[in-house]
Amino acid sequence: MSPPVLILVSRPVVGMSDGRTDGDDGFRLADAGAPQLSVFDLGVTRGDGVFETVLVEGGRATDVDAHLARFARSAHQVDLPEPDHTVWRDAVAAAVAAHPPVGSLSVKLVLTRGIEGTGVPTGWVTAREAPDFAALRVEGVRAIVLDRGYRHDAPATSPWLLLGAKTLSYQVNAAALREAARRGAEEVVFTSSDGFVLEAPTSSVLIREGGHISTPSAELGIVPGTTQRRAFEFFRDEGFETEAVRLRTSSLLRADAIWLVSSVRQAVPVTALDGEPLTVDAPLTARLNRFLSGR
């Protein structure tokens, strides 16, 4: 596997262009194998930052604008300054160009509140070969349902919980996946404490009931998925009705099929929920994944 590529972003947010010199793009290539980050960076000490993960296939980055829009939304939600769209877009392109050609790359954009006391945000982009999820997209995952512990209206009543922001603090999500492993599963579907379906720790949830495909709506404090949006295009082309709504946990029990969708892993069918087997429509899943790959 080729070594990962690192781009340090020196002008990550709007308003940092003062003192800019000719030929300064606002980022530079750096050695991913060498120490680069301060131990006092708030991204490290507090998980205080936001990120995005973009899939690159055959050298083409998928949905960069949608990812950059969500990056800006997350930054706004945690009161970070607005990321400089042009600088990040070019930095992503530079990271892709610097990586030897491979099938799929996972490109990660990170913006933190910076070194404590400086008020200067830190930004970087990494590009590394994506794991091969081909088998998982066919075989699927077993999931368990876990209560995230907040009511469905917590995003409105308690915005400081930062629900729905793609922050660096994914420790709770990782703990939920370990809980799944303890219960003999690989994935989790989070629900609100008052019984609404939310999302998985690193993916969006799609539910098929007959000719209907639904996903929980973003006002429930979930990360609005770029893959979910593209999957909906596919399903509409296939003649399904699609909607983003409030879904009661009971809809999981009625589901004809459930998928977890995300940028790099794409669409993974859920084969069992809390130990109850679920049907998998293998041809439909394969077509969905072909669509998501742009093939």
Binding positions for ligand PLP, rule: CB under 6 A? 53, 199, 202-204, 223, 225-228, 261-263
Q: Which is nearer to ligand PLP, 9 or 268 (CB)?
A: 268
Query: 183: number of CA atoms within 13 Å, CB side?
Result: 19
- For 196, the 3-state DSSP assignment is strand
- The minimum distance between CB 92 and ligand PLP, in angstroms, equals 15
- The minimum distance between CB 230 and ligand PLP, in angstroms, equals 8
CB count within 10 Å of CB 103 equals 11
Q: Which is nearer to ligand PLP, 69 or 257 (CB)?
A: 69
Q: Helix-strand-coil percent breakdown of the chain, rounded to 5?
A: 30, 30, 40
- The minimum distance between CB 259 and ligand PLP, in angstroms, equals 11
Q: Which is nearer to ligand PLP, 42 or 55 (CB)?
A: 55
Q: Which is nearer to ligand PLP, 10 or 191 (CB)?
A: 191
CA distances from 224 to 81, 216, 277 (A): 20, 9, 28
- The minimum distance between CB 47 and ligand PLP, in angstroms, equals 14
Tell me if 214 sits within 8 A of 242, measured CB to CB.
yes
Q: Which helix (H) or strand (E) holds 203?
A: none
Q: Which is nearer to ligand PLP, 120 or 172 (CB)?
A: 172
Q: Which is nearer to ligand PLP, 104 or 204 (CB)?
A: 204
Best CA proximity match to 27, nearest among 76, 118, 78, 92: 92
Give the pair of three-digit tokens for residue 90: 């070019």
Q: Which is nearer to ligand PLP, 91 or 176 (CB)?
A: 176
Tell me if 285 sits within 8 A of 137, measured CB to CB.
yes
State how beta strands 276-277 and 49-57 pair.
unpaired
Best CA proximity match to 259, nearest among 223, 215, 229: 215
Q: Which is nearer to ligand PLP, 26 or 225 (CB)?
A: 225
- The minimum distance between CB 53 and ligand PLP, in angstroms, equals 6
- The minimum distance between CB 117 and ligand PLP, in angstroms, equals 30
Calculate ∠ Cα 38-44-49, nearest 5°: 110
- The minimum distance between CB 205 and ligand PLP, in angstroms, equals 9
- The minimum distance between CB 30 and ligand PLP, in angstroms, equals 25
Tell me if 251 sits within 8 A of 40, measured CB to CB.
no
Residue 85, C-beta contacts closer than 8 angstroms, at least 6 positions apart: 68, 72
